[in-house]
């Protein structure tokens, strides 16, 4: 039996023929002598084999039209390709291709994308016939409100611009998450509790989010820094927009004063750790060069505003902007905490989070640290196979070659799927459990006071000691703090705590 001859087509051919250094696109295709389309999935990507009849044709433009039709839009591959081709000869080929089929949907998309990505205008007259076509198919992608390009008769519905343009595919997982309408579930949960319970929950929820966000970074902030972070969380939803000055101010609030910055970083930073006796650096992630940060951040902020105006799915919006921010890593310190603050900002501004409340998402991220790290690594690991860098004896990292395209056109589908899952768990555990606890706590407090009237501090201490010790007050704690109570009083108080506060999934320490 002869071995199967496999011929790369679409993006796979472009990558192979021009030796493109790009992150692997979602789908790569080939054709072979097979009876029907065959799909293999690996690490979140699809490898598709088509029958030989699907071979696009002899030219690069034929393969690019096939890619746009069957594989979707990969801005990173296209941008890298358009830099790699011989400009004059490719533009001649592209013009002939467009003139031969000027009203073809994917022909017009290819024409628009070439001029969009290269900022070069082909020597062609504007198209004056045919219906407008959406650049991204809304059934396949999350899109922004379209802006008509009269020249190409294309509706530009990208989520960003040439400086930063996130892509998110409408996968079955995201469709399923959207259908759950978690924002409506959150509203129903809130409506089922009285105002006093909600008021008492607010302080704890903000404090829990603050503590968890710092714990993820393995930091123990001072009370002053923690209080500043809580204040920032509270006032953030009231900001109409964010710009560079606002981000700098936020960075100054959450880091130690000596690490406050006046603008975006001017040095090459990286995420890594020291290993071995010589403290050699193990590098986990390399952000873009400092000179590229202002342009990328302008693009990110513009993308955020475009999505705010278009109102796509709020969780998708939050994932694209927050993870885009942490991948750009625009500051020396505080990027992770700012990344999570941006999630809250967007969810609040888009009306997903009930007004005046917060979902302690960082608490779930902390509990599922391996999942959170794997989400970040879904981008950083393949990236690190492409970035050429050196680290000198003093730990300074230098990047060689062009890398800005890696961070500009990221596919954030995985991040959106994970963020949806974490929010759902936050809503149904951390958020609801806290509200349930407060209802139980109020009932328990009334019954405790009916047995023994104690100052608030003493009562809260008694509850905390019992919750920490399986529902009973230890002999040592009793001798030190509650020696005035009788045996019957202690047993009665313990019974109230056991009945009303020990039935939660996990006892709380206040």
Per-residue pLDDT tens over the stretch 58-81: 999 999 999 999 999 999 999 999
Is 329 labeled as catalytic in the residue annotation?
A: yes
Taking the model in full, what pTM does it have?
A: 0.90
Within its chain, how far is the Cα of 412 from the centroid?
7
The mean pLDDT of the chain is: 92
pLDDT of the residue at 506:
44
Return the SS3 of 266. coil
pLDDT of the residue at 290:
95
pLDDT of the residue at 509:
43
- What pLDDT, in 10s, does the model give residues 406-446? 999 999 999 999 999 999 999 988 888 888 888 888 888 88
Which of 70, 152, 317, 329 does the annotation list as catalytic?
329
Closest CA to 210 of 241, 247, 236, 243: 236
334 is an annotated ligand-binding site residue: yes
User: Angle, to 10 degrees, between the axis of helix 335-349 and the axis of helix 223-235?
Assistant: 30
Q: Which two tokens stand for residue 150?
A: 């009269």
Q: Which two tokens stand for residue 331?
A: 């500051």
Cβ contacts of 332 within 8 Å, gap of 6 or more = 259, 261, 265, 267, 269
70 is an annotated ligand-binding site residue: no
- What pLDDT, in 10s, does the model give residues 189-211? 999 888 888 888 888 889 999 99
392 is an annotated ligand-binding site residue: no
276 is an annotated ligand-binding site residue: no
470 is an annotated ligand-binding site residue: no
Mean pLDDT calculated for residue range 306-331: 96
Q: Which residues pair with 164 in a beta bridge?
A: 161
491 is an annotated ligand-binding site residue: no
Mean pLDDT calculated for residue range 138-160: 97
Catalogue the E-assigned strands of 329-405.
388-391, 397-400
What's the CA gap between 119 and 458, in Å, rounded?
Answer: 70
Under the banding of pLDDT at 50, 70 and 90, the label for residue 1 is very low
Residue 357 and residue 292 in contact, taking contact as beta carbons nearer than 8 Å: no
């Amino acid at each position: 039996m002869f071995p199967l001859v496999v011929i790369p087509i679409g993006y796979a051919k472009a990558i192979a023929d021009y030796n493109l250094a790009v992150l692997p696109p979602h789908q790569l295709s080939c054709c072979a002598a097979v009876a029907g389309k065959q799909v293999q999935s690996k690490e979140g990507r699809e490898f598709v084999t088509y029958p030989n009849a699907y071979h696009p044709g002899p030219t690069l433009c034929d393969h690019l039209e096939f890619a746009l039709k069957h594989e979707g839009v990969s801005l990173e591959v296209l941008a890298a390709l358009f830099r790699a081709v011989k400009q004059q000869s490719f533009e001649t080929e592209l013009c002939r291709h467009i003139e031969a089929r000027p009203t073809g949907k994917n022909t017009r998309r290819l024409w628009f994308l070439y001029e969009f990505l290269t900022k070069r205008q082909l020597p062609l007259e504007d198209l004056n016939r045919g219906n407008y076509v959406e650049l991204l198919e809304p059934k396949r992608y999350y899109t922004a409100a379209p802006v008509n390009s009269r020249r190409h008769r294309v509706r530009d519905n990208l989520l960003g611009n040439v400086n930063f343009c996130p892509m998110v595919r409408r996968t079955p997982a995201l469709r399923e998450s959207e259908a759950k309408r978690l924002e409506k579930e959150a509203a129903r949960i809130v409506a089922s509790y009285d105002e006093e319970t909600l008021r008492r929950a607010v302080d704890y929820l903000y404090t829990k989010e603050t503590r968890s966000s710092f714990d993820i970074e393995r930091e123990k902030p001072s009370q002053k820094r923690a209080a500043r972070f809580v204040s920032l969380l509270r006032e953030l939803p009231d900001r109409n927009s964010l710009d560079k000055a606002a981000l700098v101010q936020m960075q100054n609030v959450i880091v130690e004063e000596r690490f406050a910055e006046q603008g975006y970083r001017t040095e090459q930073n990286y995420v890594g750790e020291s290993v071995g006796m010589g403290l050699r650096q193990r590098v986990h992630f390399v952000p873009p060069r400092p000179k590229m940060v202002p342009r990328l951040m302008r693009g990110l902020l513009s993308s955020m505003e475009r999505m705010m105006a278009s109102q796509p799915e709020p969780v998708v919006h939050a994932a694209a902007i927050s993870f885009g921010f942490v991948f750009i890593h625009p500051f020396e310190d505080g990027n992770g905490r700012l990344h999570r603050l941006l999630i809250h900002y967007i969810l609040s501004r888009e009306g997903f989070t009930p007004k005046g409340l917060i979902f302690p998402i960082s608490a779930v991220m902390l509990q599922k640290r391996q999942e959170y790290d794997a989400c970040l690594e879904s981008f950083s690991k393949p990236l690190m196979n492409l970035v050429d860098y050196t680290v000198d004896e003093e730990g300074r990292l230098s990047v060689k070659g062009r890398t800005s395209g890696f961070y500009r056109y990221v596919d954030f589908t995985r991040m959106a799927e994970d963020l949806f899952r974490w929010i759902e768990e936050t809503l149904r555990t951390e958020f609801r459990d806290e509200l349930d606890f407060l209802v139980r706590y109020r009932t328990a407090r009334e019954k405790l006071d009916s047995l023994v009237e104690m100052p608030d501090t003493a009562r809260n201490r008694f509850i905390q000691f019992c919750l920490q010790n399986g529902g009973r007050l230890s002999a040592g704690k009793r001798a030190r703090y509650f020696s005035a109570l009788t045996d019957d009083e202690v047993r009665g108080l313990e019974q109230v705590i056991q009945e009303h506060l020990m039935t939660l999934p996990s006892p709380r320490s206040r």
